Amino acid sequence: MTPTVDLAQITAATFADARYGIFINNEWRSAQDGKTFTVENPATGDVLMTIPDAGAADAQAAIDAAYAALPAWSALPAGQRADMLRKVAALMLERRERLATIMTLEQGKPLAEARGEITYAASFLTWFAGEAERVYGQIVPANTPNKRILVLRQPVGVCALITPWNFPAAMLTRKLGPALAAGCTAICKPAEQTPLSALELGHLFVEAGFPPGVVNIIPASNPIPFSNAIFDDERVRKISFTGSTEVGRILITNSAKTIKRMSLELGGNAPFIVFDDADLTAAVRGAITSKFRNSGQTCICANRIFVQRGIYERFAEAFTREVAGMKVGNGLLPDSNIGPLIDLPARDKVQRHVENALAHGAQLLTGGTPLPAEANPTRTFWTPTVLANASTDMLVAQEETFGPVAPLIPFDDEEQAITWANDTPFGLSAYFFTRDVSRVFRVAERLEFGIIGANDALPSTAQAPFGGVKQSGLGREGGSVGIDEYLEVKYLALGI
């Protein structure tokens, strides 16, 4: 039986004392032109908050503030910057329940996943607090005795950080952590669907003692005025963006004007390969985790599930049984495993992929429909779906579905699996399950992806360099190399 939860009461209590605006210089401002926009709950359609809608003048004010704050922030000893980052991380963990509730309300993901995201998000601040203290230079031997060469690493400068709606907290801290640790200041543009998680974090930065102007957060219903202000301004030296490959392409083109550093974490089309010798239980559990995390709305979700013929029937049966048992519903309800999709276009894409697969010969093993109308107020809830005997030419294998649809594609041998897996312009993440250690190395080395999970469906962690190859992006976030994205290398040739 579904436990009783007073959803309206939770929403009212969460936002009763909330104060959000355009966050510049540690102040909460209205938009200069007075505009506002609404943030809605994708599970109910209810308006959660009406907040200021930043335009070009507000973006400009944020750039001014970040630029003014840069000299003092970058000159602060790294240990002091690290202490402040650790303080925000501690506050995030202390306020985890509130932050997770805000996230579920504006994004839709189940509360347990939102709690997990807050912990994950805090880990980037802690990790990069450590890295702040390890930004070393080099002394390089010169080729004459009266010369020395010193290599310095210095903050890039003002950074524009543009984050997506699917991980409203973790994608922000994965960028802010290294930027602030390196001594950069930041202007953050959260996704228009989910600005509240980012704005709530703004309060924690103030509480942790961050000086005005170091972190600025610009909510806007339309990202274009913000982007144009960034592109036009020489003082913004770096853009970090997580989102679609189409938008990434536009950012690359437009940033040519003032030649900015770029980090891009873009789309994926992850293969998930189950070899005959895989541990069946682990492979099924892994496929569930990878495919259905955040209702299938992650860039590293399994998109194409390749299953070798010798294990195909057993995998399909066990996997379908698990999927059929998943509970779709409002993320605040404790037994929901699958929340709503972010909006109707997302839902329409899922429907198009399912219909295309069925029209081209796939069989429906479970799901395949939206939730019934009476349980689906926003029409964005889709039942977790398994498609048998899918093939590589179907839409569901050609495009990133970004929803709870699992196409099972049978394959014959290792060569075929690798060829099919690599047959995509994207190269973010890939997974495979096998018990053969030689195959682990053979396959991992041939897969053209930045992130490989071998018998591991959840490879994301602050210590690892997250990022893609091919059209999945540029640069890495996390790991010891993550801070390099926010550092310029300079050398000093010194005559003595």
> What residues are labeled active site?
265, 299
CA torsion sign, 240 to 245 to 249 to 251? negative
Nearest-approach distance from CB 179 to ligand SIN, in angstroms: 17
Pairwise CA distance, residues 388 & 392, whole Å: 12
The residues, ordered by sequence, that sit 6+ positions from 337 with a Cβ below 8 Å of its Cβ are 110, 292, 326, 327, 328
In this structure, the strands spanning 47-52 and 36-40 are antiparallel
Give whichever of 89 and 208 is closer to ligand SIN, judged by the CB atom: 89
DSSP class of residue 439? H
Residue number, 14 or 298, with CB nearest to ligand SIN: 298
* Nearest distance, CB of residue 482 and ligand SIN, angstroms: 12
**Nearest distance, CB of residue 462 and ligand SIN, angstroms:** 10
3-state secondary structure of 220: coil
Nearest residue (CB) to ligand SIN, 107 versus 320: 107
Number of H helices, E strands in the chain: 15, 22
- Total Cβ atoms within 10 A of residue 313: 12
- The closest residue (CB) to ligand SIN is 460
> How many other C-beta atoms are found inside a 10 Å radius of the C-beta of residue 71?
10
Return phi, psi of residue 340, to 5°.
Answer: -75, 165
**CA pair distance 89, 207, nearest whole angstrom:** 12
Two tokens, residue 309: 């013929």
Least distance to ligand SIN from the beta carbon of 166, Å? Answer: 6
- Three-state secondary-structure class, residue 324: helix
Least separation in angstroms between CB 265 and ligand SIN: 6
Cβ 55 to ligand SIN, closest distance in Å? 28
- Residue 337 C-beta: closest distance to ligand SIN, Å: 17
Question: Whole-number minimum distance, CB 240 to ligand SIN, in Å?
Answer: 12
φ, ψ of residue 454 in degrees (nearest 5): -105, 115
What is the C-alpha radius of gyration for the chain, rounded to an integer number of angstroms?
A: 23
- Among residues 245 and 298, whose Cβ is nearest to ligand SIN? 298
Taking the least distance from each CB to ligand SIN, the nearer of 52 and 168 is 168
Helices of type H across 258-308: 280-292
| Residue type for position 175 | K
The set of residues, in sequence order, having a beta carbon less than 8 Å from that of 129 and lying 6+ positions away, is 81, 82, 83, 85, 86, 89, 177, 181
Which positions lie near ligand SIN, rule CB under 6 A? 166-167, 170, 242, 265, 298-300, 460
| Residue 124 vs 210, nearer CB to ligand SIN | 124
The residue among 49 and 299 lying less far from ligand SIN, judged by its C-beta, is 299
Q: Do β-strands 270-274 and 302-308 pair in parallel, antiparallel, or remain unpaired?
A: parallel
Report yes or no: 351 and 339 within 8 Å, Cβ to Cβ.
no
State the Cα–Cα distance between residues 404 and 68, nearest whole angstrom.
45
Nearer to ligand SIN, 60 or 460 (CB): 460
Q: How far apart are CA 105 and CA 5, in angstroms?
A: 14
